[in-house]
Amino acid sequence: MVDFMRYKKIYFLVSGILLVPGVISLLVFGLKPSIDFTGGTILELRFEDNDQFSILNFQTEDEKVISAQKSGEGTYLLKIKTINEKEKNEIKNKLAEKFGEVEEIRFETVGPTLGRELLRKTLVAIVLATVFILAYIAYQFKDKMYGVCAILAMFHDTLILLGSFSLLGHFFGIEVDTLFVTAVLTTLSFSVHDTVVTYDSIRNAVKKNPKAKFSLLINLAINQTLIRNLNNSLTIIFMLLALVLLGGQTIRWFVVALLIGTIAGTYSSTFIATPLLLVWKSLEKRKDG
């Protein structure tokens, strides 16, 4: 049997290394909200003839256009202030005059009020889901120790996900949209899902051998559940990886977010949630002694 808990400092260190840059980035740069939250327009166009392109500089010619970037083979993504159908067609005509035949692939425009409203609804959804999950944890683990540690592990995963996207946003311009929020909520539930399985096993071990040393029982439980946790996550990761590499571009970052969340969730249930129990026990002992 491998003594996993001997290396608990290393696990905390690994998490620290992963967490700190992300958290700093979150505090300094924050997240980059998409038009879902801020309002605005994105217009994706395909150009028949994409050899001689100065479209990337197009924003200097039309003051409504905020930025332009290449999004694929011959396709470009324009970010524009909130505009209506007529203004869109003006911009399209202007582009067609300069660069030849344009095909509209996608046009999304969101008014600023709707963006703010969505932001509020999203926050409510996150709070509500968290409260439900906390209530479930409280019910599931009547022991305070398990509940608190499961929640800490859940925050750990969420912070890793938010931090990664803050970094991705700052350095690669990746935006956070409603789908990202969905991914965060899914990560919350994944995280708890994995932790529940691991803790179940620990509590079973404690029930069977009430006199044994806690760290020993934890090791026993981890040896039992680690393979399951890994295998289960692997199958999910296979699916998500296939989607990231082969799936459509529109949901790519959504899937990346799910992937980061899944990996963090798997890691934390064994290597964060469980050693936290030990830390809790030793703190309790210190208080008592």
Partner 1 sequence: MNNQQKLFLLIIFVTLVSLYIDLPQTSFDFSLFGRQFKKKLEIKQGLDLQGGLQVVLQAEMGDIAENQRDTALEAAKNVIERRVNFFGVTEPVIQTSKTSGRHRIIVELPGVQDTEQAVDLIGQTAQLDFREGVFEELPPESTPEPDASGVGSGQASSAQITGFKETDLTGKDLEKAEVTFEQNTSAPQIAIKFTDEGATKFEEITQRNVEKPLAIFLDGQVISAPRVNEAISGGQAVITGQFDLEQAKNLAIQLNAGALPVPITILEQRSIGATLGQESVQKSLIAGIVGLGLVAFFMIGYYGRLGLLATVGLVIYGLITLALYKLIPVTLTLAGMAGFLLSIGMAVDANILIFEKIKEELSMAKPLTRAVEKGFGRAWDSIRDANICTLITCFVLFNPLNWSFLNTSGMIRGFALTLGLGIFISLFTGVVVTRTLIRVFYK
Site for partner 1 in 112-151 (CB under 8 A): 113-114, 117-118, 120-122, 124-125, 128-129, 132-133, 136, 140
**Residue 228 binds partner 1 (CB under 8 A):** yes
Q: How near is the Cβ of 168 to partner 1 at its closest, in Å?
A: 18
Q: How near is the Cβ of 105 to partner 1 at its closest, in Å?
A: 5
Q: How near is the Cβ of 104 to partner 1 at its closest, in Å?
A: 6
Place of tokens 């931090």: 163
Contact with partner 1 (CB under 8 A) among 18, 152, 216, 237: 237
Site for partner 1 in 58-117 (CB under 8 A): 84-86, 89, 103-111, 113-114, 117
Place of tokens 């938010």: 162
Place of tokens 């840059």: 21
Only segment of 9-17, 164-172, 186-194, 213-221 that touches partner 1 (CB under 8 A)? 186-194
Burial class (CB in 10 A: 0-12, 13-18, 19+), 207: exposed
Q: How many CA atoms lie within 13 A of 238 on its CB side?
A: 5
Structure tokens at 35: 């038009």
Residue closer to partner 1 by CB (options 59, 189) is 189
Site for partner 1 in 162-181 (CB under 8 A): 178-179, 181
Q: Which residues of 75-102 are buried (b: 16+ CB within 10 A; e: fewer)?
A: bbbbbbebbeeebbeebbeebbeebeeb
104 - beta bridge partners?
45
Residue closer to partner 1 by CB (options 69, 250) is 250
Site for partner 1 in 4-43 (CB under 8 A): none
Residue closer to partner 1 by CB (options 8, 47) is 47
Distance in angstroms (rounded) separating the CA atoms of residues 169 and 183? 16
Structure tokens at 92: 């399209």
Contact with partner 1 (CB under 8 A) among 186, 206, 214, 278: 186
